Amino acid sequence: MNYRYTSLIAALSILPLALLVGCSDPGPAEEAGQTVDEVMEDAREQLDSAAETAREAVDEAADTLRDPGPAEEAGREIDDAVDTTQEALEDARD
């Protein structure tokens, strides 16, 4: 298996050199390759943009969850009032 891996690496290393030496005028394959490169670059840019948009949406959602809304604040105030009342009742019993 290691021999196959080494052979593959050697072949892939020589291939770009062979392609550069092969011809100087771009043929249909070279033009198709350039078109594929451009399409892949456009796709990468669109994916990067979509990822950034998603990242911003997640950050905004996280901020919303971190900041308590009015119902959460009211619930906390009720909890505090219950605690204060329980403490007052315990003190009154003593």
41-70 confidence digits (pLDDT tens):
999 999 999 999 999 999 988 887 777 788
Residue 39 confidence (pLDDT): 93
Dihedral of CA 66/75/77/87: which sign? negative
When pLDDT is averaged across residues 32-43 and rounded to a whole number, the result is 93
Highest mean pLDDT: which range of 2-6, 22-26, 76-80? 76-80
CB 68 within 8 A of CB 76: yes
pTM: 0.43
pLDDT confidence of 34, banded at 50, 70, 90?
A: very high
